[in-house]
């Protein structure tokens, strides 16, 4: 056991096996279907979530964990004499960061909250880096410095198949008027990038294959890559192909590419058919 404990939120899309292997505590996000409230704690897998989406008369909605949920995660770790480092989903798209900050006030000097300004596997790359550094015995300040460096060199690109979930989810209100105008005029698929924690329109593609080519080109333009990840919703084969293509293009071992399907909370906003690629440029 290290002196530093890593706590994050479910938005990182790490698997239960990865969380256990790296000793990472994950606080659930919340998914709602009408009046029904579910914790996105890993017990609701992707298949079960999409079955509910198909059967529900309402679109899924999400909300951040309460401060109390973070307190429950922090308390036993602090009581065990550990300092908690908490890298979280971008505070510009979620109130999760504020909830964690509120909970941290109960443990003065014992909890450090960090905004990854990313999400899904882009967030996961920072969380895993923090866990590795903690296991190596590095100090909190040094790990935060590493996360700041990774955050500054991180890029996340997203190809959507539909914007209906993004529209109804309400987390991209500033972006949607522009996206809607382009879709109505051109009948294309929007391509987004995460820019300093906020979603921005990167462009559009007329087909899924052209969207994939654009993702590959955008990642390749970054130059040498330190870490790479591919996330998806309901497109496992296409995501595996994208990961393999990126690995070949960048000269990486295929097993070095982190690959996962987004969990329910992020899927509720992204919708089905998403492909996303996250990369960290070499320093």
Q: What is the pLDDT of residue 177?
A: 65
Q: What is the pLDDT of residue 163?
A: 56
Domain assignment of residue 59, yes or no: no
Q: What is the pLDDT of residue 158?
A: 95
Are 19 and 125 in a shared domain?
Answer: yes
What residues have CB less than 8 Å from 96, skipping those under 6 apart? 9, 11, 27, 29, 64, 65, 88, 89
Are 143 and 158 in a shared domain?
Answer: no
Domain assignment of residue 17, yes or no: yes
Domain assignment of residue 54, yes or no: no
The first and second tokens of residue 82, run together, are 């550990």
Q: What is the pLDDT of residue 169?
A: 52
CB 247 within 8 Å of CB 254: yes
Alpha-carbon distances of 80 from 22, 32, 87, 188, 253, rounded to whole Å: 18, 34, 20, 53, 39
Helices (H) and strands (E) in the chain, counts: 11, 13
Model confidence at 12, in pLDDT bands (50, 70, 90)?
A: very high
Q: What is the pLDDT of residue 44?
A: 85
CA distance 163 to 271: 7
Which helix (H) or strand (E) covers residue 268, if one does? helix 264-270
Average pLDDT over residues 89-109: 97
Average pLDDT over residues 231-255: 96
Check pLDDT > 70 for residue 153.
yes
Q: What is the pLDDT of residue 59?
A: 85
Of 119, 152, 185, the position where a domain reaches its end is 152
Are 146 and 158 in a shared domain?
Answer: no
Check pLDDT > 80 for residue 188.
no
The CATH number of the domain where 75 resides is what? 3.40.50.10440
Domain assignment of residue 204, yes or no: yes
CB 144 within 8 Å of CB 114: yes
CA distance 67 to 75: 12
Domain assignment of residue 207, yes or no: yes
What are the two backbone dihedrals, phi and then psi, of residue 81, each rounded to the nearest 5 degrees?
90, 15
Are 176 and 249 in a shared domain?
Answer: yes
Q: How many domains does the chain have?
A: 2
Check pLDDT > 90 for residue 195.
yes
Are 118 and 173 in a shared domain?
Answer: no
Are 130 and 172 in a shared domain?
Answer: no
Are 272 and 205 in a shared domain?
Answer: yes
Which helix (H) or strand (E) covers residue 121, if one does? helix 120-135
Are 90 and 221 in a shared domain?
Answer: no
* Per-residue model confidence as pLDDT tens digits over 158-177: 998 765 655 555 555 566 56
Are 121 and 214 in a shared domain?
Answer: no
Are 143 and 76 in a shared domain?
Answer: yes
Domain extent, residue 261, equals: 154-281
The CATH number of the domain where 245 resides is what? 3.30.1180.10
* Per-residue model confidence as pLDDT tens digits over 74-84: 999 999 999 99
Name the region of 232 (left: φ>0; alpha: ψ -120 to 50; beta: rest): beta
CA distance 240 to 247: 11
What residues have CB less than 8 Å from 61, skipping those under 6 apart? 31, 32, 33, 168, 169, 268
Q: Which residues of 113-125 are buried (b: 16+ CB within 10 A; e: fewer)?
A: bbbbbbbbbbbbb
């Amino acid at each position: 056991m290290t002196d530093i404990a890593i706590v994050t939120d479910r938005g990182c899309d790490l698997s239960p096996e990865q969380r256990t292997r790296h000793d990472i505590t994950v606080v659930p996000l919340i998914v709602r279907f009408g009046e029904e409230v579910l914790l996105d704690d890993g017990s609701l897998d992707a298949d079960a979530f999409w079955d509910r989406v198909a059967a529900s008369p309402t679109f899924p909605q999400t909300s951040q964990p309460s401060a109390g949920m973070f307190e429950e995660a922090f308390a036993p770790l602090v009581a065990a004499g550990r300092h908690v480092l908490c890298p979280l989903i971008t505070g510009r798209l979620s109130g999760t960061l504020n909830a964690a900050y509120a909970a941290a006030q109960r443990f003065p000097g014992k909890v450090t909250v960090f905004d990854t300004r990313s999400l899904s596997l882009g967030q996961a790359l920072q969380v895993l880096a923090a866990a590795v550094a903690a296991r190596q015995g590095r100090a909190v300040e040094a790990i935060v410095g590493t996360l700041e460096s990774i955050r500054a060199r991180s890029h996340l690109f997203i190809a959507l198949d539909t914007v209906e979930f993004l529209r109804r989810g309400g987390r991209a209100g500033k972006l949607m008027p522009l996206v809607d105008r382009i879709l109505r005029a051109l009948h294309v698929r929007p391509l987004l990038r995460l820019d300093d924690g906020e979603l921005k329109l990167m462009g559009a593609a007329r087909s899924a294959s052209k969207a994939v080519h654009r993702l590959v080109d955008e990642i390749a333009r970054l130059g040498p890559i330190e870490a790479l990840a591919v996330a998806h919703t309901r497109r496992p084969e296409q995501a595996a192909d994208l990961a393999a293509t990126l690995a070949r293009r960048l000269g990486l071992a295929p097993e070095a590419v982190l690959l996962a399907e987004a969990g329910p909370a992020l899927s509720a906003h992204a919708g089905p058919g998403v492909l996303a690629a996250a990369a960290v440029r070499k320093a």
